A = this chain, B = another copy of it.
Amino acid sequence: MDRNELIKQILLKKSFLCVGLDPDTQKIPKHLLENEEDPIYEFNKQIVDATAPYCVSFKPNTAFYEAYGLSGLHSLEKTIQYIKLNYPNHFLIADAKRGDIGNTSAMYAKAFLNRLDADAITISPYMGSDSVKPFLEYKDKWAIVLGLTSNEGSADFQQQQLNGKELYLHVIETCAKWGNENNMMFVVGATKVQMLSNIRKIVPNHFLLVPGIGAQGGSLQEVCKYGLTKEIGLLVNSSRAIIYASNELDFAEKAANEAKKIAEEMKIILDNNQ
């Protein structure tokens, strides 16, 4: 999906919500575990159907599938195929946080952007240029580079001063030169909103993927205050707060309610942004 199409979908839906698909068998409803042959896929399918009207993007996190071995990876493939088939206008992010030397990153790019046909993949930038560039070689596909993450550990390296500037700013500034606004986004955690204004000075137009809303405590209003642009420039992700809103029979309905609440808040923000 290209940038224009993504913006079009956001304006059409008045939502820039991304729903994170992190299925954990400790948390998904028991009736699925007991009755379904592939409970992870069934869980995802119902969550996707229920939340699709309120979001423009889905983001399966690969860890939650790899943890269940081949069967989990099969659930991931089926989930992605289901979304591609039924919701082709939703922006599909493989949250994989990959990155390796050039020839190896090329293999990861092939795995996620070609074989699985995701629109985007998240990338860990620690290994530098040749670890990032292979992900930029696919038309209308995106590399979403970790900039400033939402977790406690982001203080250990990302927020340290590198040549007089925080590492995350250095990473965003440097990586932005390897790609452009049409093939690169950055992950910027919602729990660090005051830093968003510094990031916007460096990348005024790039889309930012913002996790940390909901379970991790980030505020949508604050994120938008510092991060929203005329062309939106934000995909805001919520995973746990939506998909685990209930673990009873009504889990999909409750997930839809949570997604709808966020989408309504987004609509007001977008209407005021005109």
Q: Give A residues with C-beta under 8 Å from B.
A: 22, 24, 61, 63-64, 66-70, 73-74, 77, 97-102, 104-105, 107-108, 110-112, 115-116, 124-132, 146, 149-158, 160-163, 167, 170-171, 174
Taking CB as reference atom, which chain B residue is nearest A151? Answer: B101
Min CB distance A38 to B, Å, is: 14
What are 6 sample pairs from A and B whose C-beta atoms fall under 8 A apart? A66-B108, A66-B111, A97-B99, A102-B152, A128-B154, A130-B153
Provide the bound-state CA to CA distance between A125 and B153, in Å. Answer: 9
Please pick, from B128, B152, B154, the residue contacting A153 in the complex, using a CB distance under 8 A. Answer: B128
Provide the bound-state CA to CA distance between A70 and B132, in Å. Answer: 24
- In the assembled complex, which residues on chain B have CB atoms less than 8 Å from the CB atom of A110? 67
Q: Which of A104, A150, A163, A174: most chain B CB closer than 10 A?
A: A104
Min CB distance A133 to B, Å, is: 9
CB of B126 within 8 A of CB of A146, answer yes
Provide the bound-state CA to CA distance between A64 and B100, in Å. Answer: 11
Min CB distance A35 to B, Å, is: 24
- 7 further A-B contacts with Cβ under 8 Å, apart from A70-B70, A125-B157, A130-B153, are A63-B104, A97-B124, A99-B124, A102-B151, A126-B146, A128-B149, A129-B156
Provide the bound-state CA to CA distance between A28 and B67, in Å. Answer: 29
- In the assembled complex, which residues on chain B have CB atoms less than 8 Å from the CB atom of A156? 125, 128-129, 174
- In the assembled complex, which residues on chain B have CB atoms less than 8 Å from the CB atom of A99? 97, 124
